[in-house]
Amino acid sequence: MFDFSEKTDALTMSDALHLLRRATVHPTWASAKQLAGKTPREAVNVIMQWGSTPQPPSWWNTKPEFTSFADAAKLWYELQSWWVKHVMAVPSVRERMVMMWQNHFTSDYITVYAGQWMLIQHQLLRRNAYDYQKMSNEILGDPAMLVYLNGNQSIKGNPNENFAREWFELFSLGVGNYTEQDIVDASRAFTGWRVIGLQGVYNAQLSDQGPKTIFGVTDTFDGPGVIALTLQQPACSRYVAGKLAKTFLESEPETATIQAIADKVKAANYQVEGVVKDILMSNGFYHADRRGALIKSPADLVMGLASVFNVPTLNSTYITAVMRALTQEPFYPPTVEGWKGHHAWITSSTFPQRQRYAESFIDGRETASSAKIKDEAGTNLTVDLVTFIKQLPDSNDAKKVVENVSMLMLSMPTTETQRAVLLDIMMAGAPLYEWDVNLPSAVSRIKFLIQAIVRMPEFQLM
């Protein structure tokens, strides 16, 4: 069973890196060094303060464009770049939560069409990242959601069941915890919404205000009434707990683990900030079984690697293109179920692409290309490998270099045999005394080492 007791001994560098990998997409040596030596409570209190609220694009509150496809589509890609640049800028636990909720209350830019509505939904999720109850109530009248699941077409006498079905199946309870009749009557309660300009507007005259029976309770439920009743169901807190467990702990958490988190979610009335803190401070979170228990998402792979090597200005359009190729295009989940994640990230196609991306990045090139990676201004970027190594302790000790780089880039401890192989790759047969981080030859040696690490299957884990 998951150990929810608070870990009180100081974090090691390995512990701190584990915390950063799971809570942010910025597992850097500098940040880990800042947290190492602190208790988990102290470290978590520090990282929960990281981050900032992004300034929205200038067009966010303008009238949606429906006459020119080119003008409308232009905003989709600007939205993606805006988000990528913000995530790249600073480490933040809230960003991890926003990513989780974007894969929970899903919408895609093709169906929704208006970039303004997609941005408004994103801001809703960001604003309520730790308040599932408020988020659920606001998503009911969210323009993007109303369009995505046809809620704007649902009126008394002709209710659309899409939102009601997904509310129970994907957003709150999970399959098996509701009936078809619950969906039928809930869809009646969700009628009456329209999208006007940039807002979802409720019109009581278009809503069904008659009696409905949901979960065996009969009343004249409206949308918020259905949500309130749903949140009272034990399956709801378990469903939210499952999302948190799969985000921060492991892909297949035990039932007892989910229930332990669910108890906290329920006790907190779905205000989950304290629950997230409890998870990140627990002995169970730092247990060896949790290390490497998740497969990196494309976001963690692409943006995380750029962060590790201090390349925060890597061109956002390129980042988006790589994420698209690796099947996680921002704001475009494949279905209303979102991205399956974990094992689904790795296929016979994406695994070699993930390796090629990392190898090419270390070489300062775009994936499998001779073209140089660029910053937002279009200027060539250089991955400064020597500076990267010099930030680590004992940078003039070849064995320590291998040990520290492995600790930073791999979520699981390496074996003595693995380190010996990596050391041999780095030195290319030369004696250890020839290692000198200040010599010109150091650049190629470092590149040999890091490219060998990113080819390891373990590099895909976090």
DSSP 3-state of 212: strand
Alpha-carbon distance of 62 to 79, in angstroms, equals 14
Alpha-carbon distance of 167 to 150, in angstroms, equals 13
- 162-197 tens-digit pLDDT: 999 999 999 999 999 999 999 999 999 999 999 999
Instruction: Name the CA dihedral angle for 16, 22, 25, 27, rounded to a multiple of 10 degrees.
Output: 20
**Mean pLDDT calculated for residue range 326-354:** 98
Alpha-carbon distance of 206 to 461, in angstroms, equals 50
Place of tokens 């000790």: 397
Q: What is the pLDDT of residue 52?
A: 94
Yes or no: say if 383 and 359 are a contact pair by the CB < 8 Å rule. Answer: no
Q: What is the pLDDT of residue 212?
A: 98
Q: What is the pLDDT of residue 367?
A: 96
Who contacts 396 (Cβ-Cβ below 8 Å, separation ≥6)?
A: 435, 436, 437
Averaged pLDDT of the chain: 97
**Mean pLDDT calculated for residue range 421-438:** 97
DSSP 3-state of 341: coil
Alpha-carbon distance of 140 to 163, in angstroms, equals 9
**Mean pLDDT calculated for residue range 254-268:** 98
Find the DSSP H helices in 194-336.
223-231, 234-248, 255-267, 273-281, 283-286, 298-308, 316-325
Find the DSSP H helices in 287-390.
298-308, 316-325, 350-362, 385-390
Domain boundaries, the chain: 13-51+233-290, 298-362, 385-460
Alpha-carbon distance of 104 to 341, in angstroms, equals 12
Who contacts 439 (Cβ-Cβ below 8 Å, separation ≥6)?
A: none
Q: How far is CA 256 from CA 16, 76, 245, 291, in A?
A: 26, 41, 11, 19
Alpha-carbon distance of 177 to 235, in angstroms, equals 7
Strands (E), 341-414: none
Q: What is the pLDDT of residue 129?
A: 98
Longest dimension (CA), the chain: 83
Helix (H) or strand (E) holding 450: helix 441-455
**Mean pLDDT calculated for residue range 347-365:** 98
Alpha-carbon distance of 21 to 286, in angstroms, equals 12
| pTM of model > 0.95 | yes
According to DSSP, the residues that pair with 461 across neighbouring strands are 295
Who contacts 25 (Cβ-Cβ below 8 Å, separation ≥6)?
A: 87, 91, 95, 96, 299, 300, 303, 304, 307
**Mean pLDDT calculated for residue range 271-287:** 98
Is residue 1's pLDDT more than 80?
Answer: no
Q: What is the CA radius of gyration of the chain?
A: 24
Burial of 377 (0-12, 13-18, 19+ CB in 10 A): exposed
As given in the structure block, the two tokens for residue 338 are 């979102």
**Mean pLDDT calculated for residue range 49-53:** 96
Q: Which long-range contacts (CB under 8 A, 24 or more apart) does 391-398 make?
A: 391/29, 391/30, 392/29, 395/437, 396/435, 396/436, 396/437, 397/435, 398/423, 398/426, 398/427, 398/432, 398/435
Q: Cβ–Cβ contacts within 10 Å for residue 130, how many?
A: 20
Q: What is the pLDDT of residue 65?
A: 87
DSSP 3-state of 380: strand
Kindly report the CA angle at 21 between 20 and 27, in degrees rounded to 5? 65
- 57-74 tens-digit pLDDT: 999 999 998 999 999 999
Q: What is the pLDDT of residue 324?
A: 98
As given in the structure block, the two tokens for residue 91 are 């480490």
With both helix axes pointing from N to C terminus, report the angle between 416-427 and 398-409 in degrees, rounded to the nearest 10. 120
Percentage of the chain surpassing pLDDT 70? 100
Backbone φ/ψ region at 415: left (φ over 0), alpha (ψ -120 to 50), beta: beta
Kindly report the CA angle at 30 between 98 and 342, in degrees rounded to 5? 40
- 365-398 tens-digit pLDDT: 999 899 999 999 999 999 999 999 999 999 999 9
Residue at 8: amino acid letter = T
Q: What is the pLDDT of residue 272?
A: 98
Q: Cβ–Cβ contacts within 10 Å for residue 40, how many?
A: 24
DSSP 3-state of 99: helix
